[in-house]
Structure formats: C-alpha cells, structure tokens
Amino acid sequence: MAYLELEGVAKQFGAQTVVDDFSLAVGKGEFISFLGPSGCGKTTTLQMIAGFLDPTRGAIRLEGKDLAAIHPAKRGLGIVFQSYALFPHMTAAENVAFGLEMRNVPRGERAERVRAALAMVGLAGFEDRHPRRMSGGQQQRVALARALVIKPSVLLLDEPLSNLDAKLREEMQIELRQIQRTIGTTTILVTHDQNEAMSLSDRIVVMSQGRIEQIGTPQETYEKPASAFVSQFLGKTNDFAATIDRASAPARLIAGSWSAPAPAGLSGPVTISIRPERIGFGDAGLSAKIITRIFQGNHWLFQCESECGPAIVIRQNDGERQPAEGEAVRLSWRPEDMSVRGGAAA
Amino acid sequence: MSAAAEERNARAPWALTAPALMLFVGVLLIPLAMTVMLSFHDWGQYKGIEPVFILKNWHEIATDPYYAEMFWRTFRIAVLTTLLTAVLGAPEAYILNRMSGRWKSFFLLVILGPLLISVVARTLGWALLFGGNNGLVNKLLMSAGLIRFPIPFMFTETGMVIALAHVMMPFMVLSVWAALQRLNPQIENAAMSLGAGPVTIIRRIIMPQIMPGVLSGAIIVFSLSASAFATPAIIGGRRLKVAATLAYDEFLNTLNWPLGAAVATLLLVALVLIVVGSNALIERRYAEVFR
C-alpha cells in the first residue's frame, strides 16, 4: 500500500483550475520531486498536502487515513518554506524547539533533541543565534532542523534552495540527500530546477499547467520523455520532423538525409527527439552546418542549422579534433537514443 | 582631491540644509527657548510680566498639590487612552491585515476617519452623544440593560479617555499594521505545521513580532494624548483641567504668562523624558526584532 496517496486531486480558484486530476502514490522513504515551471500547480499541490489549502476534488491519504479530516496542525508534517519562515524573535534553538514544545516533549528530552537536530544540519554551537544574524544557508539549515526534529511522517520542501547561490545550493543538495537517506523520511520537494530534481529524487513528477506530464525516475524522464513538454523542460533536446515510409520494404523512418529502420506499429509524419549529447558527427546522416561553437571546459556546444531546422550538439572535450564554425557536417545518432512521438497506428 | 575641494565638500551639507535649519531654529528653537526663559520671569496682577530671573513659578508648581493633581490626571488619562487604543487597535490592525483588497481599503478609510474630521466638530459630536443623563450613549446602554443608572461621561476622565482613544486609534492601528506588513506571510503556516493552535500562534508568534509596532504606536498615542488640548477642553471643560488646558488658562484667562510657561515647559520635559526613556527600553528589549 502506498504511504502517501493523492487520488484525483484538483484545486480551483474561482473559474481557474490550478491543479487538475493529480494522482500519485508515494512509497515510504521515497524522495519525490514536483518539477515544473512557475504556475504549474506544484506549490498548490504541496499546500494541499500540508493542509493550507483544501482540494476542490479528490482525496489525499496518509497511511490510508484521509487527511481532509485532520487539521493542518495535527498532520505532523515537516515543512520547509521557500522563505524559511523562521521565527525572527526566537534563537535557532528556540525555533527548533517550538514543534517539540507544542508536542509537550519534556524539557530534558527537548534540549537533547534540539541539540542533535542542529548538529545533524551542521549548526552545532549556533543554538543562541537569532535568524537575522545568520546567513541564508544557515537559516536554511535551521528551517530543515525545525522541520525534522518533530520526526515528521512526510517532509515537504517548497523550493527550499532557490534563495541560495549556486555553489551553496549544490552543497545543500548533497547534504539534503544524505540527511534524507540517513533518517529515511518520505520527502516531497517542489522545485523548478531540473538539475535539483534529477540529482535528489527517486522519482520526478513533471507538471505543466496543473497537470501531470510524466511520473518516473530521473533517468526515465530524461531519456524517455512522455511528451514534448517533458523533453524540452528536462535538459536540452532536438525535435525533428520525420516521416515513416511504409511503402518501402522494410519500412524506414526518414528525417532529411538520415534514415533508420522504422519502429513497429507507426506510420505517417512523426516527431523525433534526440538529446544533444547523443548526436555525433559522422560521414552519413543529417546534413548540417555549424553556426556557432562554444567552448565550455569539459564539453563543446555546437549550434547547427540542419535540413530539419536548428540543432544543438554537445561533444565531450576528449582531445579529438572538433569541427569549426561554418564547416559542413553530417549528424547521426543511434535509433535507440531517440524517442518518437505522434504518427498514426499502422 | 585638493584640500580646498575637500573643505568645500565638507561645507556643502551645511549650505544645503541651511534654509531648513534656519526655519527650524526660527520657529521652533527660539520660541521654545523664550518660553523656557519666560517661566523664570515674575508676574503680578498689577505689574504684569517682569523680566527677572526667579524660581517663583517653579516653586509654586513643585509645592502646590493642585499642580501635582493636574499632572497626575494628565498622565493617567494618557496612559488609559494608550492602553485602550492598544487593546482595541492591535486586534483591529490584525483583522484589517487579513481582509481582502477592497474591504481593506474601505475599512482603512473608516479607521482614518477621525483624522479627517476637524477636532472641534468631532469632539462636539462626542459631547452630543455623551450629553448628560439623556445622552444617546447612556440611553442605549440603559435600554440594552447593561447599566441601571446613567454613567457621567461629560466632565469626567472616562469621557475624555473615550474621546481621545477615538481620535488616537488611527496612529495605533497604522503603526501595528506597519509591523504586520513585515511579518513573513508563511510564518503562521509554519507555526501551524509545527502543531500550534490559533491562540498559541497569536500569543507566541504574532504578538512578539508586532510588539515593537504596538509600543511605537503607544509612544505616539501617549505623547499626543498627554499634550492634547481640544478634546480635554471640550469634554473636560473648566471643571476637569489637564496640563495643556491649564497652561492655556494661565496664558489667556489669568494672563499669568510666566506660570503658564512653567506648566508648558514641565509638560514638555516630562514627555520628552518618558518618550526617550521608554524608546531606549523598547529598543534594547526588542533589538532582535527591530534589526
């Protein structure tokens, strides 16, 4: 049985539907990310789980119990807010202790647990600091300790790292993952950062305009995107128009001067998408011309103009000679590296 | 940079602020100094004001219990008014802050209302409502069965406190509101997610954070109430004088300007001491919230 279950959850504000038909089963100890552009309904969904918003339709169940009947204060979820929402008039230790106080944890045990929680997030010795005297990263850690110290059934993270600078964000991502692995709390992270979602999660829920586009492991969503939106949103991709020619035998999938044996069961015009790092320069394939070539340290980024429109190619900086700007090239890829969408059943 | 240019730069701020400074000195500092000097002059029924330096007026204020009573009443009224505005104004601001856009602007206007009406018209309005035993307020309270005998409002401290609290309310509400604006909008949700009920959230999370707002509102209300003139003059009349109406009477009825000046100076000094003192206390106590 799923630990946390959302079934057909929808939220409407007036006539506007913000989240629609959201169904998801989260296993115990799983790390799930809600990923999507701003306004896709990911935060709204999180707030419905937290209980700050009531779903218009659908049910949310935690260990089989309907959460709608449970007041947000009694749900026992740990939440880290984008703005941290620390209590500015309390010290770090008082902030962390607040949830335990509300649970009438005896003073001695409370102090011990607060100390342990702050130590876990690397803030031992910061007990008596006020939030305003701490850096963004430190405030972030206090917020995490405050949410974790109550041993929440589910940890909800609302874009917790978006206010940190790039380097700190990377550090916190690793730390967050380690902490989550150690204590095994079921975690839901809301983010618009695909790298963050991919590096942290067991599964990603890709959302767009209030709907789920795809649920899958980071690798699945990246390599087998279920829709054009997913392939565009998760990293860079090349979409080419192609056709499946069933007149010839055996049937072939043709994009410009590139062709391959056609996948079974499809015919007519289709869209194929290939990740830029899966395209190579070869002797045969799609004709293209390099427009710009950008050096990025460990790799080269090529922007090309091909028969099928603009294309981007990423090549490892492996010491091989790379084509220059203006050079004519042929682009090729293995058929298993592309995904095919559209087309009629054949 | 050359020494001359540096000197010019050092002088520039003074030159630029000179007009405002001169106005400040001309209309505030000089009259104030003259009032203080006046309080040391002598006065007699037939000789008028004599520009000498004596402590007669100050001695009279210090020894005559009449003045002590007057000042105690002034500060009692100011304290009660401050308490009343804080107790009513802080929740009012909290509710106002939670209202949706259109209602918020409407009720903000309602709260600012007292400031938009002339002080005399407004206070006379209160006098009509209070008006003796048959005043509207008393009639209402009696018909509602809340009281059996009419409460005297006119010429009492009760009436004065009510009328003053009415006009001072906007200052309290606006200053608490400003503090509420600085609150993190997610902070109540954060407290709720940790298991706090509505009462705990207000007591442990909201109150401590808006306290600086309540206290700065209290300082404004207190100093304005203690030095208020029109409201005490109309509600209290001659029977119930406060420091401001006392100074007025000494100046314009008794024509004992030096004594009036001494009363006014004492009121000013006492107010400044109280305000500066409590401000220092508040800033030390709420250093973390203010930063």
Question: Three-state secondary structure along chain B?
Answer: CCHHHHHHHHHHHHHHHHHHHHHHHHHHHHHHHHHHHHCCCEEECCCEEECCCCCHHHHHHHHCHHHHHHHHHHHHHHHHHHHHHHHHHHHHHHHHHHCCHHHHHHHHHHHHHHHHCCHHHHHHHHHHHHCHHHCHHHHHHHHCCCCCCCCCCCCCHHHHHHHHHHHHHHHHHHHHHHHHHCCCCCHHHHHHHCCCCHHHHHHHHHHHHHHHHHHHHHHHHHHHHHCCCHHHHHHHCCCCCCHHHHHHHHHHCCCCHHHHHHHHHHHHHHHHHHHHHHHHHHHHHCHHHHC
Is B189 close to A146, i.e. CB distance below 8 A?
no
Fold for the domain defined by A238-345: OB fold (Dihydrolipoamide Acetyltransferase, E2P) (2.40.50)
The domain segmentation of chain B, as residue ranges, is 66-290
> What does the pLDDT read at residue A311?
92
pLDDT at B291 over 60: no
Identify the pLDDT of residue B289.
59
What mean pLDDT value characterizes chain A? 91
Assess whether pLDDT exceeds 70 at residue B259: yes
Say if residue A21's pLDDT is above 80.
yes
Contacts of B205 in chain A (CB under 8 A): 87
**Looking at the complex, does the CB of residue A124 fall below 8 Å from at least one CB of chain B?**
no
Cβ of residue A78 closer than 8 Å to a chain B Cβ = yes
| Reported ipTM | 0.82
| The domain defined by B66-290 carries CATH number 3.30.750.24 | no
pLDDT at B290 over 60: no
Over 60: is that where the pLDDT of A294 sits? yes
Fold for domain A4-233? Rossmann fold (3.40.50)
Task: Decide if pLDDT at A17 tops 70.
Answer: yes
Q: Do B195 and A132 touch (CB under 8 A)?
A: no
Q: For CA atoms A104, A106, A109, A110, give the dihedral sign.
A: positive
Give per-residue pLDDT as tens, A177-232.
Answer: 999 999 999 999 999 999 899 999 999 999 999 999 999 999 999 988 888 899 88
Q: Which residues of A touch B204 (CB under 8 A)?
A: 98
The reported pLDDT for the residue numbered A9 is: 95
pLDDT of residue B279: 86
User: How confident is the model at residue B17, as a pLDDT?
Assistant: 93
User: What pLDDT score was predicted for residue B135?
Assistant: 83
Residue to substitute from A75, A81, A163, interface B, most B β-carbons within 10 A = A81
Confidence tier at B174 by pLDDT (50, 70, 90): very high
Residue B206: what pLDDT? Answer: 94
Tell me what pLDDT residue A336 has: 86
pLDDT tens string A118-176: 999 999 999 999 999 999 889 999 999 999 999 999 999 999 888 888 888 888 899 89
